[in-house]
Structure 1
Amino acid sequence: MLLAGATASLAGAQGEDASPEKEAGIPVTDPLVVEKCGSCHAADSKGNLSRISWSRTTPEGWAQAIKRMVRLNGLDISPDQSRAIVASLSTSHGLSPEEAKAVMYIPEKRMIDETNIPNDDVRGACAACHAMGQPLSWRRSRHEWKLLQDLHVALYSQADAQYRRPAAVPPGAAPAEGEAPAKKRTRGEVALEWIRKAAPLHTPEWAAWSARVRSPKLAGEWLVTASVPGKGRYVGTMTLAAGGADRFTTRTVLRPIDGEGPAITRTGSGLVYAGYGWRGMSQGGGAGAPDALGNAAREAMWFDPDQKSGDGRWYWGEYHEFGYDVKLTRASAEPAVLAVVPGRLKVGTKGARLRILGHNLPAQPGDVDLGSGVTVRRVVSVSPGEWVVEADVAPAAPSGPRDVVLAGAVLEKAFPVYRSVDFMKVVPETGLARLGGARHPKGYQQFEALGFENGPDGKQGTADDVALGPIDVAWSIAEFPTVWYDDDVKFVGKLSPAALFTPNVDGPNPERRFGRNNYGEVWATATARAEKDKFGRPLTARGFLVVTVPSFQRWDQPEVSK
């Protein structure tokens, strides 16, 4: 985060030598950035602007910083100027593709269990209030990271309390370098030490990318595979047309891989930051229901530096809870395999009919390889977009994913071979929905039930488990007994047969004990219709669902977002 004002002005008044920075800055060369930011962020003889030249971040990070300057320091800036500065700084003071990839879940608005938190001290100091991806979306000098901590103390009283708590010292742990054994460190000190090493200003990745960053050449046709929780998988094409500097218009046509339902057509536009970071918007027909696939969506995607592939999420909903997970591959004259239907094959199966969906597939029957233990009996039909084959799966075929090879095109892990569905998981394992409808919008939660085989080791929950995809199940909700006699199931909302949870209205409920709101905690339970456990009982799984109150405060203030 940036602090403008007194500190920067004082440094400028005292001259370059007064700067506390010991690291080389990244000069600011854009005249508009210098014009709008230079009145507070003092320049030195090397073209550095105080604070700015010692920070790098994503487009969202720079947009957040500008909004803060508007709110706290009275920055006078137009929307066009703001967008231009975000685009400029995202290139000159941005992240390398490798650095950005690790935190793409932030602009993609994904709810995930973060695995990038090294210990409980860093968790308590940083991730108690926001996702760890927030600070890891920045790269700063050592001095800037300390100033960020100071800013938190100045603005948020809880941060000071969190930073001052004693750090957990593992038994027998050696003291930190240069530290006396008797000294006890705080959480804030541990977190600062870690973040300085994990996210420094200068990295080999940034040095390499800043020398080769180039304008995106993405115009043309792209092959798309997409999945939507609760809706299924889709394949299609996305056509990008150049619409100005780093800008493109889009037309996407997706069709369900199971052949049921109409094609989805979406049109939109997007802007590419730093040569690889796509941010766009699109919409299609059929909007209306909260989970309708034609609803207007924001798009956040990451393109590989070779500009031949990309992936990301197109999301919508008041809480960004709905979305397409997408993968893109640049279309060429070469054949490409996109998906295989059905999604799994059981050992011992005879004459299974598989649809191989692709692009520029050969028009004449030829060789197709479905992997170990799977033999193609015959090719039923061929077309440039789809081959249909019949295949046998040997009784001794090993469990696991199979690659499909057709005319030189390879789709890795196209489908799994399995012996049995040994267990299921409900995803997400912990869901979140928000009451609404009276004064605030609702926040929905979509669940899915996924099947798994134990894998070669025969144990559940290990690395060799074989993922089998969605399982046909019946859904219900059950009480999570946090409080006795609260009957959350009666009040929190409804779970549809397709596993879409719709929360109840917000506000006190006179029919409920103590007139409480309709919040609560329940289980979303999936019961398999056909799959049985070793005792002959239907497989079951459940996910935890928290139904809470609306989000009454939004940190991304609309008054400075226009």
Structure 2
Amino acid sequence: MNHKKARLRLFFRSALLLMIAGLGSLSAQARGGEEILREHCTLCHAETTTESGAAHFSRISDQRKTPEGWHMSINRMLHLRGVWLPPQEKQALVEYLANTQGLAPSEAAPFRYLLEQDTNRVETEVDPNLEQMCARCHSAARFGLQRRTEQEWQYLVNFHMGQFPTTELHAMARDREWYRLAHDEVAPELAERYGLKSEAWEEWLSQDKPLLKGSWRVIGFVPGKGEYDGRMTAVPDEDGNGFMLQMKGHYADGSPLEGEGHARVYTGYEWRGTLMLDDVEMRQVLAADPEGETLRGRMFLADSRRLGGAMNAYKDHERTEVLAIQPGYLRLGESREVTLIGQHLNGEVSLGEGVRVEEVIERSDDRIRMRISAAAKGSPGVRDVTVGEATGDNILAVYDRLARLEVEPAHALARVGGNGGQLDKMRVAFRAVGYAAGADGEVGTDDDLRLGYMPADWSIIPADETAAHEQDADYAGTIDAHGIFTPGDAGPNPERPKSANNVGRLKAVATVDDGTDQVSGESRLLVAVQDYVQRVLD
């Protein structure tokens, strides 16, 4: 596909998938949204008028959701209830509902990993009742990103019984009065925790929303490519309904990064972008802070949502800012090349106690590439880095030896696929995080000094004796030099006993050579069958 065709394809897909930039004229949006609801939804959802004179649509007006949540609800109406909406009206309806019945930043914050498709994690501290009743089939973020009245939570229980009648026969359901417990005890608990009305949402509605156009300094990571930094410009598009994006920068190895695309912002802070970056389609799911100073979230491959990495953007205010140093660690008595990243980097560079600049290799307004060294008898710890009057707090870790490695994600799920089937393989990208002993001298405590992500040699091994006996490491998949695990083909494998498929239980192992030390860390990896139940977002 040539570049011009790729741009056209990107534009039309963006028009369907992304929402309006900012809240804009809420009155015009509200009229449009209400008109669409009246035309397409009131056959089933009755409209009444509240005491304040506002329109109220049964069921719809008693819920608040993220844009993705409203998108899924509308798709369910389209696919299961026979509703038809022109694409532009579907987009406008999602926008209207997200802007007027969305979630405040503080409400969405604990569950952003689901929005950002960073789902290889184990949820902790979930209420036992909600874990047993809801989080056995859904992530806790699934219901944590919704707000409903108590009656609506009870209606949701009834929906499950009608749509999934075998729910009562599942484990931990068949041996108790599942429906009564869900309807009479769990639904009220959900309403108490995640009720429709909240001070946070009312306060957010009344606030001025951040302006997100302009130039942004971006820092992030792309699996297989590595860390990057650059600039992203967001220019309002012709119809004022979004931003045209351009990104340009460098990966840590010096190779160029360049792309362009489109973005929209809704609920006042939820940024959704689609762009062709180095001829690969990428998605951005970011959240703006209330002042519009930063965007934080994740950028991932459009066709493989789990393969992605953190992305942070900082608004350009034409003042000196120190944002990061790559890599962010230096061993005592050694020297290495690093890149200092920031904005308008004017002034003398200072790297903290015992660290000096040996040579400035390349310097520009946004980045300084240099060779630095740490005194052999210096003190381990984190250092502030300053350029002129600007300071990057605690961004350089100076250490004596690498004590341990952690592999992220610690627990991962991959899925077989391909081999002529309709479902692709679900890959996993691993990264190794280094730690040195902290001030207490002990390893494995909260006091450990985090060094940051480190390049590693990667391998896979069986998770246990049974996995070794089944030869899972030979059949379940492979891991490359970048830490990207690719599972095996779907379907029976005649080379395995009883023609079993290529599932398995593995460990992903990272090994780092640090001077004379060699340190390893590992992650649990489950290779499962295809995921036949997937949400529809298009």
> The TM-score by the shorter chain falls in which range?
0.7 to 0.9
- How far the C-alpha of 1:549 sits from its partner, in A, is 2.0
Inter-partner Cα distance in structure 2 for 1:386 and 1:495: 33
Residues 133-155 of structure 1: CA distance to partner in whole angstroms, max 9, x if unpaired? 11111111122112112211222
C-alpha spacing 1:317/1:490, structure 2 compared with 1 (3 Å): farther
SS at match of 1:66: helix
The amino acid that maps onto 2:474 is: K
Give the corresponding residue for 2:168: 160
Give the corresponding residue for 1:288: none
The amino acid that maps onto 1:201 is: L
CA contact (8 A) 2:223 2:484 kept: no
Alignment of 1:547 onto 2:532 = no
- How far the C-alpha of 1:332 sits from its partner, in A, is 1.9
Unaligned runs of 5+ in 1: 1-25, 168-184, 286-293
SS at match of 1:312: strand
- How far the C-alpha of 1:253 sits from its partner, in A, is 1.0
Inter-partner Cα distance in structure 1 for 2:379 and 2:515: 21
Inter-partner Cα distance in structure 1 for 2:42 and 2:181: 36
Q: Aligned runs of 1:43-442 on 2, under 5 Å?
A: 43-46=47-50, 47-115=55-123, 117-161=125-169, 164=173, 186=181, 190-212=185-207, 214=209, 217-229=211-223, 231-243=225-237, 244-257=239-252, 260-285=253-278, 294-316=279-301, 318-347=303-332, 349=333, 354-362=338-346, 365-366=347-348, 368-371=349-352, 373-376=353-356, 380=360, 383-387=364-368, 388=370, 390=372, 392-393=374-375, 395=377, 397-399=379-381, 401-440=382-421, 441-442=424-425
Inter-partner Cα distance in structure 2 for 1:206 and 1:543: 39
Per the normalisation by structure 1, the TM-score is 0.81
C-alpha spacing 1:519/1:78, structure 2 compared with 1 (3 Å): same
The amino acid that maps onto 1:397 is: S
CA contact (8 A) 2:432 2:453 kept: yes
Aligned to 1:39, which of 33, 38, 43?
43
Inter-partner Cα distance in structure 1 for 2:479 and 2:34: 53
CA contact (8 A) 1:220 1:239 kept: yes
Alignment of 1:509 onto 2:493 = yes
Give the corresponding residue for 2:445: 462
Inter-partner Cα distance in structure 1 for 2:165 and 2:516: 54
Aligned to 1:492, which of 471, 476, 482?
476
Q: Which has the higher helix share?
A: 2
Inter-partner Cα distance in structure 1 for 2:522 and 2:288: 36
CA contact (8 A) 2:121 2:412 kept: no
Residues 441-496 of structure 1: CA distance to partner in whole angstroms, max 9, x if unpaired? 22222222221123123344332222112334332222223357311122112222
C-alpha spacing 1:86/1:28, structure 2 compared with 1 (3 Å): same
Unaligned runs of 5+ in 2: 1-29
Please tell me the root mean square deviation across aligned C-alpha atoms, in Å.
Answer: 2.9
CA contact (8 A) 1:473 1:528 kept: yes
CA contact (8 A) 1:352 1:391 kept: yes
SS at match of 1:105: helix
Inter-partner Cα distance in structure 1 for 2:33 and 2:229: 43
Alignment of 1:449 onto 2:432 = yes
Identity %: 29
Inter-partner Cα distance in structure 1 for 2:124 and 2:486: 32
CA contact (8 A) 1:370 1:376 kept: yes
Inter-partner Cα distance in structure 2 for 1:74 and 1:355: 56
- How far the C-alpha of 1:188 sits from its partner, in A, is 6.3
SS at match of 2:192: helix
Which moved further from structure 2: 376-385 or 480-489?
A: 376-385
CA contact (8 A) 1:351 1:377 kept: no
- How far the C-alpha of 1:425 sits from its partner, in A, is 1.4
Inter-partner Cα distance in structure 2 for 1:79 and 1:217: 27
